[in-house]
């Protein structure tokens, strides 16, 4: 290690900034990729990260982390641990691997863009570590499920998902392309690192790691903990970027970037984490409800961040808080009913004991959501699995690409109308689930208007034959891969009623 203390040489070694003279600044840092907002180059040189690390320290730390987590994986791989895990929990981690592993790898593109087009050497230095982090996260979250293939072949969706047109993959690509794969450096710092990582995933990974240890999934717990320590570091690129924008009079711009990405992040977060926490995690291991997690961690942290930077809570904040009561319950119902369209086995998770827990955590749940499950459970008990499976598709939002569950929000008393927002633009019809999703589109229609949702593709004749089986094949799902209920609907059979299989 260096003989000088890091603080004695770090700033000098890090700040390799100079004014370019052989080329124009606008050629070296094109605004499309960099977005300086007119802030002078020298001002960017004041960018200062709160968490400092040298390259040598970085490599040393990362090598240690990898040695530790791969050792756990190596030991666990020789055990029966995975096979003994709760079926619902297995669903949660299969969903996670498919949605996240390749996305982490793609995030290295966004980090690389900051590493090249960030306007300060200090920032570029941090982004280099971020790039290496995300490559590591992509690789490690592909390797771990690879080791599960002999026990769960669908673990290959960790690699496969993003190469398919499965509807969740389309939703994830749409979000992550917007957030980092096709975003400029400044917006990536605010939207990926400040909003998504600091605001959502950093906290989510802490919660998931704790939950994994609670259910006995040491492998996943070690993996997620290891990743989280990287996230905690590189997510801090957002804060100094935010400070600079605000100091130079661009608070409104920063606010708009946050408002845009907070809403988008929330919807995908509800889809993945909401279902895992409130339905897939075994009841006896649930330490909190999804709403409690949102209130105690995400909401509180964001309000603190808004206050610290002089920003306002997003204009849709009240609508967002309302959604924390109902949105993920509706998504769970949709994912379960359209379970052949996902690569994991959704756990209905509505046994009498679980319904009691849901009613306690979400007063009124039995009246608002339990009544749908009453009809479904009766069909299961009566041996009518065909009535628990889809014959058409849910409409999806043209921004978040997630099914339109407005009627559930209306029925639960949180939306004024069950009808989604229809918007005609440039000769094409778009449908949005919410005012924020429509607002995001209207802020920059050129960025979004060409995208075709899974329903748009179906109606345009891209899915042949135009049937449910044709669409499942289009999504890359073979019969063996399509989701089934994780416990063969055991939740529908209280008091020892005979199980009717087939759902």
Partner 1 sequence: MIMAPFPVQGITEGDFVVVLVPVDTEDPMTTVAEKIAHHAVNRRVPENDRPMVVRHNGRVLAADTTVVDAGVAPLDVLEVVHPS
Binding window for partner 1 (CB under 8 A); candidates: 75-83, 109-117, 118-126, 413-421: 413-421
DSSP secondary structure letter of residue 497: P
Please report, as residue ranges, which positions from 365 to 394 form the binding site for partner 1 (by CB under 8 A). Answer: 369, 371-372, 374-376, 379, 387-388, 390-394
Closest residue by Cα to residue 273 from 294, 255, 256, 257: 294
Query: Does a cis peptide bond (omega within 30 degrees of 0) precede residue 479?
Result: no
Smallest distance from partner 1 to CB 406, Å: 6
Please report, as residue ranges, which positions from 277 to 316 form the binding site for partner 1 (by CB under 8 A). Answer: none
Does position 71 bind partner 1 by CB under 8 A? no
Smallest distance from partner 1 to CB 358, Å: 15
Smallest distance from partner 1 to CB 421, Å: 10
The β-bridge partners of 432 are: 421
Name the residue with tokens 């709760």: 86
Task: Select 44 or 369, whichever has its Cβ closest to partner 1.
Answer: 369
Q: Which residues, at least 6 apart from 262, have a Cβ–Cβ distance to it below 8 Å? A: 195, 199, 302, 314, 320
Name the residue with tokens 């997630």: 402
| 450, 452, 456, 462: CA torsion to nearest 10 | 110
Smallest distance from partner 1 to CB 393, Å: 5
Q: What are phi and psi of 479, to 5 degrees?
A: -55, -35
Task: Select 223 or 415, whichever has its Cβ closest to partner 1.
Answer: 415
CA-to-CA separations, 250 to 243, 245, 309, 436, in angstroms, rounded: 10, 5, 12, 21
Task: Select 132 or 333, whichever has its Cβ closest to partner 1.
Answer: 333
Q: For residue 104, what are its two tokens?
A: 């982490």
Q: Pattern of binders to partner 1 over 337-366, x per CB under 8 A?
A: x-----------------------------
Please report, as residue ranges, which positions from 417 to 446 form the binding site for partner 1 (by CB under 8 A). Answer: 418-420, 422, 429, 431
Q: For residue 195, what are its two tokens?
A: 């909003």
| 179, 110, 249, 442: CA torsion to nearest 10 | -30
Q: Is 38 left (phi over 0), alpha (psi -120 to 50) or beta?
A: left
Does position 403 bind partner 1 by CB under 8 A? yes
Please report, as residue ranges, which positions from 85 to 124 form the binding site for partner 1 (by CB under 8 A). Answer: none
Task: Select 249 or 383, whichever has its Cβ closest to partner 1.
Answer: 383
Task: Select 262 or 432, whichever has its Cβ closest to partner 1.
Answer: 432
The residue from 81, 135, 395, 499 that contacts partner 1 (CB under 8 A) is 395
Residues lying near partner 1 in the complex (CB under 8 A): 330, 333-334, 337, 369, 371-372, 374-376, 379, 387-388, 390-395, 403-408, 411, 418-420, 422, 429, 431, 455, 458-459
């Amino acid at each position: 290690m260096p003989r000088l203390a890091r603080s004695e040489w770090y700033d000098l070694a890090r700040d390799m900034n100079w004014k370019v003279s052989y080329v124009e600044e606008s050629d070296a840092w094109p605004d499309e990729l960099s977005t300086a907002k007119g802030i002078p180059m020298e001002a960017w040189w004041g960018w200062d990260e709160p968490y400092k690390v040298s390259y040598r320290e970085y490599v040393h730390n990362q090598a240690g982390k990898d040695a530790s987590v791969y050792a756990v994986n190596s030991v666990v791989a020789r055990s029966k641990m995975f096979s003994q895990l709760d079926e619902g929990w297995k669903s949660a981690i299969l969903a996670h691997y498919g949605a996240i592993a390749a996305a982490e790898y793609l995030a290295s593109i966004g980090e690389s863009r900051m590493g090249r087009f960030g306007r300060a050497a200090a920032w570029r230095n941090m982004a280099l570590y971020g790039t290496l982090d995300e490559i590591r996260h992509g690789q490690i979250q592909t390797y771990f499920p690879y080791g599960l293939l002999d026990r769960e072949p669908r673990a290959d969706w960790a690699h496969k998902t993003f190469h398919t047109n499965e509807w969740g993959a389309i939703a994830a690509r749409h979000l992550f392309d917007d957030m980092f794969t096709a975003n400029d450096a400044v917006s990536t710092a605010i939207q990926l690192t400040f909003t998504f990582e600091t605001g959502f995933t950093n906290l989510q990974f802490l919660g998931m790691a704790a939950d994994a240890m609670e259910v006995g999934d040491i492998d996943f717990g070690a993996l997620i903990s290891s990743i989280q320590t990287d996230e905690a570091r590189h997510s801090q690129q957002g804060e100094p970027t935010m400070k600079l924008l605000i100091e130079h009079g661009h608070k409104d711009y920063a606010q708009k970037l946050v408002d845009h990405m907070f809403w988008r992040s929330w919807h995908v977060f509800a889809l993945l984490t909401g279902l895992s926490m409130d339905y897939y995690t075994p009841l006896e291991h649930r330490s909190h409800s999804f709403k409690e997690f949102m209130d105690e961690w995400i909401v509180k942290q964001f309000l603190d961040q808004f206050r610290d930077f002089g920003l306002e809570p997003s204009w849709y904040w009240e609508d967002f808080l309302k959604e924390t009561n109902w949105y993920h319950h509706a998504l769970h119902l949709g994912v379960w009913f359209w379970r052949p369209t996902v690569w994991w086995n959704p756990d209905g998770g509505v046994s009498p004991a679980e319904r009691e827990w849901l009613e306690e955590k979400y007063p009124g749940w039995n009246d608002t959501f339990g009544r749908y499950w009453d009809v479904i459970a009766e069909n299961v008990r009566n041996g009518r699995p065909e009535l628990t499976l889809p014959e058409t598709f849910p409409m999806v939002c043209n921004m978040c690409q997630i099914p339109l569950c407005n009627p559930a929000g209306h029925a639960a008393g949180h939306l004024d109308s069950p009808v989604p927002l229809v918007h005609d633009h440039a000769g094409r019809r778009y449908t949005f689930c919410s005012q924020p999703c429509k607002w995001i589109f209207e802020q920059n229609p050129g960025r979004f208007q060409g995208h075709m949702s899974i329903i748009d593709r179906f109606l345009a004749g891209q899915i042949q034959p135009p049937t449910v089986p044709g669409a499942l094949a289009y999504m890359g799902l073979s019969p063996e891969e399509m989701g089934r209920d994780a416990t063969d609907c055991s939740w529908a059979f209280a008091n020892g009623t005979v199980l009717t299989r087939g759902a």
